[in-house]
Amino acid sequence: MKKIEKFARSYPFVFWTAVTIVVAFIFKLTGLQLAVNYLLSGFSLVVAAKLGVGMVRTLREGHYGVDILAVTAIISTVLVGEHWAAIVIVLMLTGGEALEDFAAARARRELNALLKRAPQIAHKVVGEDTVQVKLAAVKVGDVLLVLPGEVVPVDAELLDAAAEFDESSLTGESLPVERKRGEELLSGSINGGTAIKVRASRSAKESQYQQIIELVKAASSTEAPFVRLADRYAVPFTIVSFAIAGVAWAMAGDPVRFAEVLVVATPCPLLLAAPIALISGMSRAAKHGIIVKSGGVLERLATVRAVAFDKTGTLTRGEPSVTSVKPRDGFDSDDILRLAASAEQLSAHILSNSLVSESKRRKLSLSAPTNVEEVTGQGIRASVDEFEVLVGKSDFLKQAGVTILADDIKAGETAVYVAVNNKFAGEILFRDEVRPESKKVIIDLKKLGIRHTLMLTGDMQATAERIAKEVGITEVRAECLPVDKVNAVRNLKTRPVMMVGDGVNDAPVLAVAEVGMAMGARGSTAASETADVVVLVDDISKSAQAIMIAKHTIKIALQSIWVGIAISVGLMIVAANGYIPAVVGAGLQEVVDVIVIFNALRAHGTFRVPKLA
């Protein structure tokens, strides 16, 4: 009951329209047809009056849209006695306004949720003690303690010898990054497994994570308005309808002729075709794991001419995988991998999962490690079967007295080194692999008319160029912070542009693009909430499929509109010559509506979406 009361207060016209329809049905069942007519007509005219006031206001501002046609539709259907048609139009209009209000309210809640996730406190070091202070109270030069797994609260300088950080929320890079004493740390990065001390180099307001929040807020509030599909045809169709009706009245000298024309001039092809097609297209997209948040987004999606991609987790898998094992004298690759994976089984390090996964893929039998000693950010020592195994960075092995003879690491790769019984056994190389579908996605986008593709990433230039070359992207912007990505999209000349990403660092650029698409299966909540389109499955090919569905949907919507308009104009001309009585005209108009509705429903998949050649 409380939910109904809340809905009634939030959307009174939708609520009272529904109540009116229910009461009218009750009257009809009890034989009170006159009461039905008065109830439906009276309520419809009240809504028409409300729309009329708004219509006059928008006309004074120089804007013309579907409201003109809506008012005409309601009044004309009431005048010719099509009371149920009038209330259906009212329900559509008020329901549409309610959905728009709901979307706006949801956007505000999502932004507030992003704000709440930002760090609120910091651990300030005062002498030998540590005290909690509000983030806003942190000043440049303050020494802060960042606990394991905590977010670095402000941009700061590392005071400890070395530490490892997850910067994926800022740069999109999935591999952990090691920072040494004196290096700059960005707020929003996550500390590794040991407490560290840092010196604040910027206030919270000027730090990186806060800039992300401000960019999302600014981009969300400055999004350009988008004209609804039906608005482009509403005024011309209304003018043509009144012109034909006026000429018919003048030629016949009878106002009934005017009403007969208006009966078949109802705007249902405009009021029904586009919304039904768009909703059907959104439903079809959802079946394929693509959530399009509004019909307006679907329209914009169909017009996209440029696509920008984040790299990590979007064009690539977002998790490092073993690319090769390089054994040294006396060892083979499977033995090295099995021993390393066995030692790393209990570690939470990102590369540990990759080692274990590769071992399982090769069907290697892992042993339970004992005497495990892990040095956070450096490596691990453990006993595996009868061997003493060291796995980690080169410095970690060197400190244990192991002599390393390793090859140079290529761009985009990282390595762990393995020693067995204090003898160098070899190295295991990792790479964040390109998704197998990424190259085909770029090809498909070109077939769909996408003129420009580019990659925006926080990775090194060499790594970014390697990935871009592999998938077929010609323009690369590497070593980007969130603000750099925003500026790149804002300055792109080919528009409209769609941005595809998955991290917190992508949230601002997703908001500023005409269409923001988030890979939401493993991506951040912030990215999904800011985006216009969310892909629920871990498949980048959905970006091309979303555009294809949008184009197919708009094609059907326009086709439905033009079919409806053409039939209606034809009927108006026949009615203008007196060959269609009002009652017959109302029946024929319903036939037109049925044709338009069924054609628009094709966007749902009655016929298959054409595949790319």
CA 57 – CA 11 distance, rounded (Å)? 21
| Residue type for position 578 | G
Exposed / middle / buried, residue 182 (Cβ in 10 Å: 0-12, 13-18, 19+): exposed
Please state, as a whole number, how many other Cβ atoms lie within 10 Å of the Cβ of residue 334.
14
Cα-based distances in Å from 178 to 105, 192, 328, 377 = 41, 10, 27, 7
The residue with tokens 């990054």 is 177
155 is catalytic: no
Give the E-state strand segments of 108-259 in sequence order.
Answer: 121-126, 129-134, 143-146, 156-158, 162-166, 177-180, 184-185, 190-191, 196-200
Sheet holding 184-185, edge to edge: 129-134, 121-126, 143-146, 196-200, 156-158, 184-185
CA angle 527–533–538, rounded 5-degree value: 75
Which residues make Cβ contacts (< 8 Å) with residue 467, sequence separation at least 6? 311, 315, 316, 412, 434, 455, 457, 459, 473
Nearest by Cα to 424 from 433, 432, 411, 415: 415
Query: CA 571 to CA 596: how far, in whole Å?
Result: 15
Q: Where are the alpha helices (DSSP H) in 118-254?
A: 168-171, 208-221, 231-252
DSSP three-state, residue 21: helix
Query: Which among 142, 155, 310, 532 is annotated as catalytic?
Result: 310
Cite the active site residues: 310
